[in-house]
Amino acid sequence: MSLSARPSRPIEERIPVVLATGAAGRFGRFFVQSLHREHRVVAVDRRPVRGLPKDVTHVRTDLRLRPVEDLFRRYDVRAVVHLGIVHNPRASEEGYRFNVVGTQRLLELVAKHQVPKLVFLSSANIYGPHPDNSHFLTEDAPLLGADGFPNIRDLVAVDQLAQSFFYKQPGIETVLLRPVHIVGPRVKNAPSNYLRLERPWVISGFDPMIQLIHESDAVAALMRALAPGIRGVFNVVGPEAAPLSRVLQVLGRKTRSVPGPVARALLDRAFRFHATGFPAPEIRHIQFNCVVDGSLARRVLGFEPQYGLVETIRSVLGHRE
Amino acid sequence: MELIPRGRPSRRRRLARRLVSNDLRTRMARMTAELGELGVDPFGFDPETVKYAAVPLEVLYRHYFRVLTYGIENVPSGRALLVSNHSGQLPFDGMMIGAALVFDRDPPRVVRSMVEKFVPRLPFLSVFFARVGQVVGTPDNCRRLLERDEAILVFPEGARGISKTIDRRYQLERFGGGFMRLALETKTPIVPIGVVGAEEQSPAFYNIKPLAKLLHTPSFPVTPTFPLLGPLGLAPLPTRYRIYFGTPMTFDGDGDEEDAFIQERVEQVREAITALLERGLSEREGIFR
């Protein structure tokens, strides 16, 4: 008799696992490589995946589909780590539904099967770079990220879904992590791609403070969030903040200074004609501060970044340690 | 420690480097600041930039306003709230208090002041202000700076003070109470400051309020030279500045008291500043002397 044909087995016979979504992404794969050293891992992603460790079970499915629930019946899921959020400014409609509906579905399953732990990877970007921001945003700051950048409203929505889970399911240890820009040799997100540009644009007369975190430090924070007893919302901050101009100086970049309105108009057109992957509202990130206070994570999670500032910046160049 | 490639300094930087006097360089070297790997503090303050900004500032301080300071030893080394009267249409009083702490205090100190909320929207100016240690005036920013044991300059009269007309010179406007709550909460001593001289630098006899509203500025002053001579008319007169630093005042409380309790203590600070102003006015022999 095949495994899937059996009725739901008693929990004591099931294998304890940690279920990770979004495991086929560059960061997801890297995280799973750390995770599988300590836990049996079931990786869920709708994309095909290569290079996962052999003892990791990969299930290729969309979070919104039925096979996902079967995983909760088949295994003793001890924790769910939700990385499976699409950050694609182009896939707006579909991405919105995938993120919001997929997350909603996952939360329902976590509640139904009373998984003791849920770790959720959000982002500090949802506070939004804003000229009125206090210099250090704490976890209680308003989530204004979608203000002026409606395409990321789903990222704000899923963060809020996770927040409401705290009071809906007080028995489940929910951890919501909001890391600053994750960079490193593996990840290819907007901030690291920007730092890889040979001649990046900067906005004339603006030089905001930038916070980066090395991908290994971000993984370390996730691992700490899995520790029993930890719950709450945490900003996750790497080394100290630095002005954008100095970050680019470390990389030896020659910048092109473009006035704000011109940059916005040009980028808007370029993005529409698929000449660039950067949507115009992201200009705000190189214009205004979005600096967060990571002291809560330091106190409660005991998280300290291992990578220094220069090391973290240089990591985008791809020298693997 | 890795070396950070900084490239060849630009022509502007090399020129500025030549202008910075040795005296200033040694003074700046004695200033302490907790800096990160790339030479700035978490708020974006960069002592290198201050060095260059100090060059024109020194000219203003020593030769234009010919500032006299009294009691500067009253500024402690730890956290401090410097509370001053505010006047003169453009905030040269703030610049001169900052300059006094750099040029006349031993050891020199950089004062962090709280700038208006619209500053981060301004190109170039936003960066300059951040590099010389000025921070947007939110209570949270102020609290964090005090917890880092910085000296913070506040003008509790705010825009009411700086934009008042010449007939109300040396009459303090209503004081806001936010600074007192922060001082109580963070157990910070308050140093009262009286600035004499700034009140006459741009003698405004009228404030066209509708025009100010239209231009989104705190005021639209009419002085003998402005708007007659255009933006140049905003240049202040070379009045002589006298800056009086009073003895530090400490208050007991936790900052969460009722308004009446706070206002009572605010009033004491206001009276201390009034006394400093009276002293200054009796000691000076003329606006320019």
pLDDT digits (tens, 9 = 90+) for B250-268: 999 998 999 999 999 999 9
Q: Is the pLDDT of residue A231 over 90?
A: yes
How close, in Å, is residue B241 to chain A by CA atoms? 33
Q: Is the pLDDT of residue A151 over 80?
A: no
Band of pLDDT at residue B13, cut at 50, 70 and 90: low
How close, in Å, is residue A308 to chain B by CA atoms? 8
Best of A210, A211, A245, A246 to disrupt the B interface by mutation (most B CBs within 10 Å)?
Answer: A246
Cα–Cα distances in Å, from B137 out to A273, B91, B225?
42, 15, 31
Q: Measuring CA to CA, which residue among B42, B40, B60, B38 is closest to residue B50?
A: B40
Band of pLDDT at residue A35, cut at 50, 70 and 90: very high
Question: Of A25-39, A148-162, A282-296, B13-27, where does mean pLDDT reach its minimum?
Answer: B13-27
Question: In chain B, pLDDT over 70 holds for what percent of residues?
Answer: 94
DSSP string across A21-80:
ESTTSHHHHHHHHHHTTTS-EEEEESS---S--TTPEEEE--TTSTHHHHHHHHSEEEEE
Encode pLDDT of B69-108 as tens digits.
999 999 999 999 999 999 888 889 999 999 999 999 988 8
Cis geometry, peptide bond prior to residue A208 (ω within 30 degrees of 0) = no
Q: Is the pLDDT of residue B117 over 90?
A: no
Contact (CB, 8 A) for B43 and B154: no
Question: In chain B, pLDDT over 90 holds for what percent of residues?
Answer: 51
Looking at the complex, does the CB of residue B8 fall below 8 Å from at least one CB of chain A? no
How close, in Å, is residue A73 to chain B by CA atoms? 48
Cα–Cα distances in Å, from B268 out to B65, B98, B273?
29, 24, 9
Band of pLDDT at residue A2, cut at 50, 70 and 90: very low
Backbone dihedral angles phi then psi of residue A297, each to the nearest 5 degrees = -65, -35
Q: Calculate the dihedral angle through the C-alpha atoms of B227, B229, B230, B236, rounding to the nearest 10 degrees.
A: -80
- Other C-beta atoms closer than 10 Å to the C-beta of B55 total 13
Encode pLDDT of A178-212 as tens digits.
999 999 999 999 999 999 999 999 999 999 999 99
Band of pLDDT at residue B2, cut at 50, 70 and 90: very low
Nearest to B121 among A131, A240, A291 (CB): A131
**Average pLDDT score over residue span B220-237:** 87
Looking at the complex, does the CB of residue A79 fall below 8 Å from at least one CB of chain B? no
Q: Is the pLDDT of residue B1 over 60?
A: no
Burial class (CB in 10 A: 0-12, 13-18, 19+), A127: buried
- State the pLDDT at residue B213: 87
Tell me if B38 and A310 make a contact (CB, 8 A cut-off): yes
Tell me if B38 and A289 make a contact (CB, 8 A cut-off): no
Q: Calculate the dihedral angle through the C-alpha atoms of B259, B260, B265, B269, rounding to the nearest 10 degrees.
A: 80
CA distance B136 to A206: 15
Q: Over chain B, what is the mean pLDDT?
A: 88
CA distance A75 to B108: 66
Residues 290-309 in A contacting B (C-alpha not used; CB under 8 Å) = 291, 308-309
For residue A193, the SS3 value is helix
DSSP letter at B110 equals P
Question: In chain A, pLDDT over 70 holds for what percent of residues?
Answer: 96
How close, in Å, is residue B144 to chain A by CA atoms? 9
Cα–Cα distances in Å, from A252 out to A198, A248, B127, B202, B225?
9, 6, 21, 46, 48
Long-range contacts of B273-276 (CB under 8 A, 24+ apart): B273/B83, B273/B84, B273/B85, B273/B172, B273/B192, B273/B193, B273/B194, B273/B246, B274/B172, B274/B194, B275/B194, B275/B246, B276/B192, B276/B193, B276/B194, B276/B244, B276/B246
- State the pLDDT at residue A321: 44
- State the pLDDT at residue A91: 66
Question: In chain A, pLDDT over 90 holds for what percent of residues?
Answer: 72
Reading the block at residue B276, the tokens are: 């400093």
- State the pLDDT at residue A207: 95
**Average pLDDT score over residue span B46-55:** 86
- State the pLDDT at residue B26: 80
- ipTM of the shown complex: 0.83
Where is pLDDT greater, at B11 or A88?
A88
Residues of B in contact with A241 (CB under 8 A): 36, 42, 44
